[in-house]
């Protein structure tokens, strides 16, 4: 199987998103409005994580997202819902005249896209409660896979207030069991 490299707009943001993860973004800068136009015609864009110091992390991966909904906020700002299609390796980055990043990227497989035979009833129930108690989050996820372990752990990793550099270790290692143990330890506290 040949892995194809494609060129996509890249949006540096302090967001951690795994495959099937969804988030809402508010877009107001001209360069990112341009990015939305390009992404809506050409298969999406990449969210490249930034840490709390607003430095782009050293890892050369990102979340390839597609726009699944457009809306306008009460203040008139464009709001888009994006869903992660895949993680990608970012091979090269360029900056255009509008200071919009573009990257040559290729898809990478991640454990969150696999099937695992394990039970997570407590973590599944607590995640279902998070959705129930947060209507905005609940609205983003029209289809929830609360019984699929990799989906549950991926959503918990996205939601928990853990440093982006720590979360990024679960991209590099592709280790479902370690991710599950981290999530369980945080929830148990």
| Residues 144-156 pLDDT 10s | 999 999 999 999 9
Answer yes or no: are the C-beta atoms of 123 and 187 closer than 8 Å: yes
**C-alpha–C-alpha distance, residues 28 and 37, integer Å:** 13
**Rounded distance between C-alpha atoms, residue 166 and residue 77, angstroms:** 32
For residue 166 the two structure tokens come to: 């720590």
Which pLDDT score is estimated for 1?
Answer: 47
Nearest C-alpha neighbor of 6 from the set 101, 110, 100, 88: 88
More confident residue, 49 or 25: 25
Residues forming beta bridges with residue 25, ordered by sequence position: 80
DSSP conformation letters of 39-64: HHHHT-EEEEEB-TTSPBPS--EEEE
CATH topology of domain 6-110: 2.30.130
pTM: 0.90
d(CA 89, CA 5): 9
Q: For residue 58, what pLDDT is reported?
A: 53
Would you state the pLDDT for residue 80?
Answer: 97
The phi, psi pair for 115, rounded to 5°, reads -110, 135
């Amino acid at each position: 199987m040949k892995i194809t490299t494609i060129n996509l707009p890249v949006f540096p943001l302090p967001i951690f998103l795994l495959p099937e993860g969804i988030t809402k973004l508010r877009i107001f800068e001209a360069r990112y409005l341009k990015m939305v136009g390009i992404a809506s015609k050409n298969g999406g864009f990449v969210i490249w994580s930034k840490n709390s110091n607003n430095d782009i992390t050293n890892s050369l991966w990102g979340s390839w997202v597609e726009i699944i909904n457009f809306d306008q906020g009460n203040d008139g700002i464009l709001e888009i819902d994006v869903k992660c299609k895949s993680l990608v390796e970012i091979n090269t980055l360029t900056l255009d005249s509008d200071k919009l990043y573009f990257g040559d990227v290729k898809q990478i497989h991640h454990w969150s896209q696999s099937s695992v035979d394990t039970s997570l009833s407590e973590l599944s129930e607590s995640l279902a409660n998070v959705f129930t108690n947060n209507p905005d989050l609940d609205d983003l996820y029209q289809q929830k896979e609360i019984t699929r372990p990799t989906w549950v752990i991926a959503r918990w990793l996205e939601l928990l207030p853990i440093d982006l550099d720590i979360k990024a270790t679960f991209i590099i290692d592709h280790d479902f069991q370690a991710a599950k143990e981290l999530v369980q330890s945080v929830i148990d506290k």
